[in-house]
Chains A and B, each alone.
Chain A
Amino acid sequence: MVQIIVCIKQVYDIGGLKVDQKTRSLITERVERKVSDFDKNALEEALRIREKQGGSVIAITLGTSAANDALREALNMGVDEAYLVDVGDMEELDARVISDLLAEAIRRIGGFDLLICGEASVDMYAAQVGPRIAERLGIPLVSHARSVSVNGSIVMAERDLEDSYETVEASMPLLLTVTKEINEPRIPKITMVIKASKKTVKALQARELGISLTPSVKVLKALAPVTERKREIIGGKTEEITESLVRQLLRDGVVGG
């Protein structure tokens, strides 16, 4: 029996985001939100472990009430319980505040054997929150796992590192972060969605967790980078285009060196 808590993040669907060309800032109106890709892999892995070993899966997220949609996705996949750490109108949250709040919430939920996170969020890709939570809770971190097997209280994971695949063995409690390679997240069937609709999200108020809410890292500005590119369309018949391009690249000195 393994009690698992999965930390998920609701992100904008990056493909739908647009940039205001004049101000170089983000346009987020009417952009869909979803569970971050790697977090879905985390949920899926937790559910598979529960299927093999028994136990329970709790999904937790930090956000405003909009994040309830992300928890609903998790419930539809089959998690047993869902928690929201509600930050209300707080803006300017950094990884330190987020991970401290989640770690405290996890402490209050209690009784976990395994924490699973995505290896990073698909929008910021900072890869901070999971490892920070592990440190705050004083448990080992096994990151970038592309496969995991659980035997009693022992976890074996194959980590995807830059130059090698490393198999690590660790005892629970521990925190895993997972890659997209690890599994294919299930698409909830209608029966699952109906079953999940009976479950409600439990909310914890961030301000009541006794955590300092002052961020360490401040964002001074966030603008779309300016890219200088020629954007030259090469026209004509196929042979003309390829001939033209190859000659141009030779002139540019990037081929035939």
Chain B
Amino acid sequence: MVFELLRKGRELADGLGGRLCVVVLDAGLQPEADSFIQRGADKVFVIDNPALEGSLPEPSTDAICRLASQSTPQVLLIGSTKKGNDIAARVAARLETGVITNCLTVSLDREARAIIADRPSYGGILTSTETCTTKPQILTIPPRVLEPAATSESLHGEVVRTEMNVEPAKSRVVQTAPKQIKGVKLEDANIVVTVGRGLAKKEDVRIIEELAKVLGGEVGCSSPLAEDLKWLPTEQLVGLTGHKVKPKLYLACGISGQAQHITGMRDSHVVVAINNDPEAPIFQQSDYCIIGDMYEFVPALTETFRRILQK
């Protein structure tokens, strides 16, 4: 993710005629500092303070704001993770500036020295083009939206390690339980088969799993199944409030195609939809449309794929 921000950061720094600094909030990452220089950073600050460990936003907010008051950055780029967005919001509030979160694209208006970013709005129905008019301009960008920076050994820069005084968090992490990620992460999957309200009972997800298995793909779902019915975990949720996927093949089974869902799969290369309702909005977002019952077509497709792919 850092390499992706570095490439965009370099582009923006060059356009604005400024320097690109990476702030590393985990002293354990110091060995990576040189790789950041080789990918375009002019300077790397490694802040050594154990208070910065973990996912609570307050200590990182303090560290970034202290650095910002010393070096008055024009732009802050932060990865759009839950922690990143929390930190970006707190930093922006403290520095009395704006944040554009979950950017889809980031570009520079050289004349205005302003960064223009697109992000989804109204559940993803619209793409909103925004700019922050106060400094620093803060943007959070999700992983896999940007291309990573290439490495070049001819690049040089400065690595500074500092033991900064940082206000520790008042909250305390009592326990961390890693999530069991079944199979491949949806964001990395080449083939994703998703199911929506067309699923009549929780157990029937089996037919979707069989299709995914024959294709070597992963199973996802729409918001109603994960957030309302809770038949599938949110780890499998594709959409605005879940995962964004960009597989080669996306199969939407019994999914109506609400805007929030489309936002999660819009970048799929080829989209197939199966839905009983010829008016379902999903068909507008699909390459191949099957108007029919998913309970008929999903098993039939599984059989056909099995037969033809195993030839």
Name A residues whose Cβ lies closer than 8 Å to a Cβ of B.
Answer: 12, 14-15, 17, 19, 25-26, 94-96, 99, 120, 122-128, 130-136, 140-144, 156, 159-171, 174, 179-181, 215-225, 227, 229-234, 238-239, 241-243, 245-250, 252-257
A197 to chain B, nearest CB (A): 29
The residues of A that contact B57 with a CB separation of less than 8 Å are 131, 141, 143
B173:A170 contact, CB within 8 angstroms: no
Could you say which residues of chain B place their CB within 8 Å of the CB of A127?
A: 82, 85-86, 89, 101
Complex CA gap A163/B57 in Å reads 17
Question: Judging by beta carbons under 8 Å apart, are B99 and A227 in contact?
Answer: no
Determine whether the beta carbon of B175 is less than 8 Å from that of A166: yes
Q: How far is the CA of A100 from the CA of B101 in the complex (A)?
A: 18
Tell whether B51 is near chain A: CB-to-CB under 8 Å.
no
Nearest A residue to B293, CB-CB: A238
Q: Does B148 contact A (CB under 8 A)?
A: no
Give the Cβ gap from B265 to chain A, nearest Cβ, in Å.
11
Which of A99, A219, A232 meets B128, CB within 8 Å?
Answer: A219
**Separation in Å of the A238 CB from the closest CB of chain B?**
5
Beyond the given pairs A141-B58, A243-B304, A255-B215, 7 more chain A to chain B contacts, judged by CB atoms under 8 angstroms and listed by A's residue number, are A17-B123, A19-B126, A123-B121, A128-B101, A168-B172, A222-B126, A234-B290
Are the CB atoms of B283 and A231 closer together than 8 Å?
yes
Query: How many inter-chain contacts with C-beta < 8 Å in the A-B complex?
Result: 257
In angstroms, Cα B258 to Cα A251, docked, is 29
Within 8 A of A (CB), among B7-28: none
Task: Judge whether B285 and A229 touch: CB under 8 Å.
Answer: yes
Name B305's contact: one of A99, A122, A222, A255 (CB within 8 Å).
A255
Residue from A96, A222, A246 within 8 A of B97 (CB atoms): A96
Render B100-120 as a binary contact track against A, CB cut-off 8 A, 1 for contact: 111000000000000010011
Q: Do the beta carbons of B287 and A144 come within 8 Å of each other? A: no
Chain B 152-193: CB-based contact to A (< 8 A → 1; otherwise 0): 000000000000000001111111111101000000001100
Are B248's CB and A254's CB within 8 A?
A: yes
Task: Give CA–CA (A14, B263) in the complex, Å.
Answer: 13
Interface size on B, residues (CB 8 A): 89
What residue of chain B has the Cβ atom nearest to residue A163's Cβ?
B179
Assess whether B133 is interfacial by the CB under 8 Å rule: yes
Residues of B within 8 A of A156 (CB): 174
Residue numbers in A under 8 Å from B67 (CB-CB): none
Q: A122-B241, A224-B125, A255-B309 are in contact. Are A229 and B286 (CB under 8 A)?
A: yes
B76 at the interface (CB under 8 A from A): no
> In the assembled complex, how far is the CB of residue A252 from the closest CB belonging to chain B, in whole angstroms?
5
Complex interface: chain A residues within 8 A of B297 (CB): 238, 241-242
The 5 closest A-B pairs by CB, nearest first: A216-B98, A131-B89, A135-B93, A170-B171, A217-B98
Whether A222 contacts B94 by the Cβ 8 Å rule is no
> Which chain B residues have a beta carbon within 8 Å of chain A's beta carbons?
55-58, 61, 81-83, 85-86, 88-90, 92-94, 96-102, 116, 119-123, 125-134, 169-179, 181, 190-191, 215, 227-228, 230, 234, 240-241, 248-249, 258-260, 266, 269-272, 283-292, 296-297, 300-301, 303-305, 308-309
Q: Which residues on B sit within 8 Å (CB–CB) of A15?
A: 258
Decide if B171 touches A140 in the complex (CB within 8 Å).
yes
Task: Please give the distance in Å from B36's CB to the nearest CB on chain A.
Answer: 22
Smallest CB gap from B123: residue in A: A14
B234: chain A residues within 8 A (beta carbon): 160, 179, 181
Are A220 and B130 in contact, CB atoms less than 8 angstroms apart?
yes
Q: Looking across the interface, which residue of chain B has its beta carbon closest to that of A99?
A: B93
Instruction: Find chain A residues with CB under 8 A from B61 CB.
Output: 135
**Cα distance A135–B92 when bound, in Å?**
9
Q: B55: which A residues are within 8 A, CB to CB?
A: 159, 161, 166
A222 and B179 form a contact (CB under 8 A):
no
Of B85, B132, B191, B270, which one neighbours A252 at CB under 8 angstroms? B270
Given the complex, which residues of A lie within 8 Å of B92, measured CB to CB?
A: 96, 128, 132, 216
What are 11 A-B pairs at a CB distance below 8 A?
A96-B97, A127-B101, A131-B93, A140-B56, A143-B86, A166-B177, A180-B227, A216-B134, A231-B283, A256-B309, A257-B190
How far is the CB of B61 from the nearest CB of chain A, in Å?
A: 7
Please, how many angstroms separate the alpha-carbon atoms of A77 and B248 in the complex? Answer: 45
Query: Is B171 in contact with A227, judged by CB distance below 8 angstroms?
Result: no
A242 close to B130 (CB less than 8 A): no
CB within 8 A of B266: which of A12, A227, A242?
Answer: A227
Q: A95-B99, A125-B241, A217-B132 are in contact. Are A242 and B301 (CB under 8 A)?
A: yes
Contacts of B296 in A (CB 8 A): 238
Interfacial chain A residues near B303, Cβ < 8 Å: 242
Which residues of chain A are within 8 angstroms of B260 by Cβ–Cβ distance? 14, 122
Q: Check B93 against A242 for contact (C-beta < 8 Å).
A: no
Q: Which of B126, B131, B133, B191 contacts A254 (CB 8 A)?
A: B191
- Chain B residues whose CB sits within 8 angstroms of the CB of A225 once the complex forms: 126-127, 266
Complex CA gap A135/B129 in Å reads 26
Q: Which residues of B contact A17 (CB under 8 A)?
A: 122-123, 125, 259
Query: CB within 8 A of A168: which of B81, B90, B126, B174?
Result: B174
A36 to chain B, nearest CB (A): 11
Instruction: Contact check, A222 vs B127: say whether CB atoms are below 8 A apart.
Output: yes
Q: How far is the CA of A217 from the CA of B93 in the complex (A)?
A: 13
